[in-house]
Chains A and B, each alone.
Chain A
Amino acid sequence: MNKFWIILSHTYMTKFKTKSFLISTIISLVFIFAIANIQTITETFSGDTDKIAVIDESGELFTPLEESVEGSTDEMDLIAFEGAEEDGKNAVQDEEYAALITLSLNAEGLPEATYFANNIAEAGEQSVIQQQLQQLKVAAATQQAGVDQETITEIYSPVTFSKIALDDSAKTAEELNQARGIVYVMLFLLYISVITYGTMIANDVATEKSSRVMEILISSASPVTHMFAKIVGIALLGLTQVGIIIGVGYSLIMSKQEELTGGVFDYFGIQNTSASVYIYAIVFFLLGYLLYATLAAMLGSLVSRTEDVQQMIMPMILLVMIAFFIAMFGLEAPDSSFVKITSYIPFFAPMLMFLRVGMLDIPFWEVALSIGILIATILLFAAIGARVYKGGVLMYGRSSSLKDVKKAIALSKKE
C-alpha cells in the first residue's frame, strides 16, 4: 500500500474512533433535530397561560380588550378582578396573577391603562395588551371623529410595494431571499469546519512532534507526503461528519416538509435552489478548506508543545473570523465594491466569492479568476508549507512564534 494512503487511513481511523468525534457529531445532530422541531419545542415550554387581573373602572373596556387579546395570543388570560387596586397588587406579589391592569377612560373618553407586575422586564405581555388597547383607542377616537370603519381598515392596510429587477438575469427578490439562506448556511458551515478541522490538523501535527514520533515518521515517509496525507485524511473525516449531519438534517427536513413550510426553512431556501449554487458551494468549501488546512499544518509543525498550538493558529483563526464578518455584512450588500474586492483576496475568497455567486449573477470569468487565485495561493502555501514542515518538524525550541517560519525554512535548506 502506498505510504500516502497508509498515513491517510491511519489519520482518518484514529480520529474517527475518538470520543470527541462521536460527541461533536451527536451534538450537531441534536442541534439540527432541535431546529427541525423548533415549533414543537417552543410550544412545550410556553404551555402554561399567564393570568392577568384587570380592574375596569370604566365598565366598558374589559370585554372588547379581552376579545381582542384572545384573538391575538393564547398565552394569557384576562380575568376581571373584583376588588380594590391594593388587593390586586398584593395578589400579583403573591404570584396569584402575573400582572394587574387598571383600565379607565380619561376626560376625552379615550382608554388609559396602568400595568403592574413584579418585574416589567418581560416585554411580550405588556406589548400585546398595549397594542390591543391602542386599537381600542383608535377605534374610539375615530368613532368620536365620525370616521367609518372601512376608512380605518383602508388606512391600516400595508402599502403595495413590489420590487422588480430590470436586468433579466438578476435574481428576483424571492430568489434573492432563498439564495441568502443557502449562502448563510454554507458560510456558517465553512466557518465552523475551517476552525474545527484546521485546529485538528495543527493539533495532530503538534502532538506527533511533541511526542517525538515525528522523526520516525519522516524517516519512513517524506514530510510532504505526510503533510498532505494528513490534510486529506482530516478532510475526509470532515466530509464524513458534515455528510452525516447534512444527510440526517436533509432527511429530517424532508420528513417534516409539510409542517415546516413557511417556517425557518423557507427563509433558508433549502428546498429549491439551483444546482449550480450547490456545485459552487462544494468547490469553494473544498478550496477554502485546503487553503486553511495547509496553513494549519504549517503552523502546527512550528510548535514544540501542544499547549502552544492555540497561540500559533490564532492569526489564522482571526483571518477566518474576519472573512466571516465581511461575509455577514456582504449578505445585506452583496453588490458593494468592498465585497467585490475582498472576493479576490485569497483568505476571504472562499466565503465572499461564493456569496457573490450565490446572491448575484456575475460573469463566469470573475468566478474563474477568483478560483484561479485561490488555487495558485494554495499551491504557493503548499510549497512554502512543505519547506517549513520539513524543517519545522525537526525544530524544537521554547519559543513559538511566526518568526520560526524563517528558522524552519533555513533548517530545510542546504545551508
Chain B
Amino acid sequence: MTLKIKEVTKRFGSTTAVDHLSIEIPEKEMFGFLGGNGAGKTTTFRMILGLLDITDGDISWNGESIGYDKSHLIGYLPEERGLYPKLKVRDQLIYLGKLRGMSKSEVVTELEGWLDRFKVPEYIDKKVEELSKGNQQKIQFISAVIHKPKLLILDEPFSGLDPINVEMLKEAVVNLKEQGTSIVFSSHQMDHVEELCEHLCILHKGKPVVQGSLREIKKSFGKKNLIVHADFPVDFLKDFAGVLHYKSVTEGCELQIESETVAQRLFEALHGKGFVRKFELEEPTLSDIFIEKVGASYE
C-alpha cells in the first residue's frame, strides 16, 4: 500500500503551487511534510484526496488512483478545523462515520473508546460549539481516525494544542502507526517531525528542497553543531577556518561547523588553554536544516 506521487505539478492560473513533486511513502510509515506558509503542503494533500485535480503527473496508492470508492480507507484532518457547531458530538460523528462506511453502532463503540482515551467521555452529548478549541480539535481528530483508515493525512495536527494534549495526540498517532496505518502529516514545528517521522520532505514554493530519510538527510547535511563551555574566553574560535556560525553564550559558545574534522582541530586548539567543562559535537537539528535550505533559496 505505497503512496506514490509522481512528478506532480499543480498550477492555479499563472501561479505554480506544486512543482514536479515526486514522493514515495511506504506502507506503515510516518511521513512528514515540512514547509513554510504557502509551500504547497495543503495543495498536495488536497490532490492526494482528489479534492483538486492534478495539472500534471500522477498520484497512486497501491497502484490505483484514489477515488471516493476508497474514502473508507482514508482519514483526513484538514488544516482548517471544522465541525457542525450545533450538532452533538455523537450525531456529528455518526454522520461523518457513516460517510466513511461505518455503521451507527460501530461509530458509537469506537467514539466511546476514543473519548475515554482522551479522558473526556462526558463530551458525547455536548454540542461542538460548547467545547473549547482544544477539545474541538480532539473531536476533529477522532473524526479523522474513527474508521481505522489505512492512510491518514494530518494537516497541522498539533497546532493550537497545549503540551499535554500534544503528547496525548502524538501517542495516539504513534499507536495508529504501530497498528499499520500509513500516516502523512505536515507541520511547521520541526521537533514534532523530528520526533515522529522516519521520512520527510521539505517543500519550498512548491518544490521539494530536501527529501529522504531523517538519518540520511542529517548525515548528508554534513554540518554539525558544537557546544563549548570553558573557564576561559573562547571567542578566538570564531576565526578558525570551517566555523560557519559563532554564537556566544554565558558559559562559552555554540558553533556551527563545516564537518567533523573541524571539531578535531578546534579540540586541539583548546588543548592546554585551561579547563574545558563541555565539548560536545551534535547532529544538526531539523530546524537548522530547514533554515539553511529554505533560507538559502530566499536569498
Per a CB cutoff under 8 Å, which of B10, B55, B81, B96 touches A220? Answer: B96
Contact between A14 and B87, CB atoms less than 8 A apart: yes
Is B131 interfacial (CB-CB < 8 Å)? Answer: no
Give the interface segment out of B21-29, B68-76, B220-228. Answer: B68-76
Contact between A220 and B82, CB atoms less than 8 A apart: no
Is A1 interfacial (CB-CB < 8 Å)? Answer: yes
A interface, over-half SS: helix
Give the distance in Å from the alpha carbon of A213 to the alpha carbon of B10 in the complex: 24
Contact between B143 and A215, CB atoms less than 8 A apart: no
List of A residues within 8 angstroms of B166 by Cβ: none
Q: Which of A201-258 contact B (CB under 8 A)?
A: 208, 211-222, 225
A-B contact count (CB 8 A): 70
Which of chain B's residues has its CB closest to A391's CB? B52
Per a CB cutoff under 8 Å, which of A212, A214, A221 touches B81? Answer: A212
What 0/1 readout, one digit per residue, does chain B (125-157) give for beta carbons within 8 Å of chain A?
000000000000000000110000000000000
Most interface-central of A3, A211, A218, A414 (chain B CB within 10 A) = A211
Which of chain B's residues has its CB closest to A414's CB? B53
Question: Given A394-B46, A411-B12, A415-B12, do A215 and B82 touch, yes or no (CB 8 Å)?
Answer: yes
With both chains docked as a complex, state the minimum distance between the C-beta of B78 and any C-beta of chain A, in angstroms: 4
Is B277 interfacial (CB-CB < 8 Å)? Answer: no
Contact between A394 and B78, CB atoms less than 8 A apart: no
Q: Which of A337-388 contact B (CB under 8 A)?
A: none
Interface residues of A, CB < 8 Å — how many?
A: 28
Give the distance in Å from the alpha carbon of A14 to the alpha carbon of B92 in the complex: 11
What 0/1 readout, one digit per residue, does chain B (64-92) give for beta carbons within 8 Å of chain A?
00001001001010101111110100000
Per a CB cutoff under 8 Å, which of A6, A225, A396 touches B95? Answer: A6
Is B99 interfacial (CB-CB < 8 Å)? Answer: yes
Contact between B99 and A221, CB atoms less than 8 A apart: yes
Is B245 interfacial (CB-CB < 8 Å)? Answer: no
Give the distance in Å from the alpha carbon of A218 to the alpha carbon of B96 in the complex: 11
Q: What 7 pairs between A and B have smallest CB-CB spacing?
A: A212-B82, A220-B99, A213-B82, A415-B55, A415-B11, A215-B78, A212-B80
Can you list 14 A-B pairs with a CB-CB distance of less than 8 A?
A: A6-B95, A10-B95, A211-B83, A212-B80, A213-B83, A214-B82, A215-B82, A220-B99, A394-B51, A394-B52, A396-B80, A410-B12, A414-B54, A415-B11
Q: Known A-B contacts: A6-B99, A14-B87. Give 5 more (CB < 8 A).
A: A215-B76, A217-B99, A220-B100, A394-B51, A412-B53
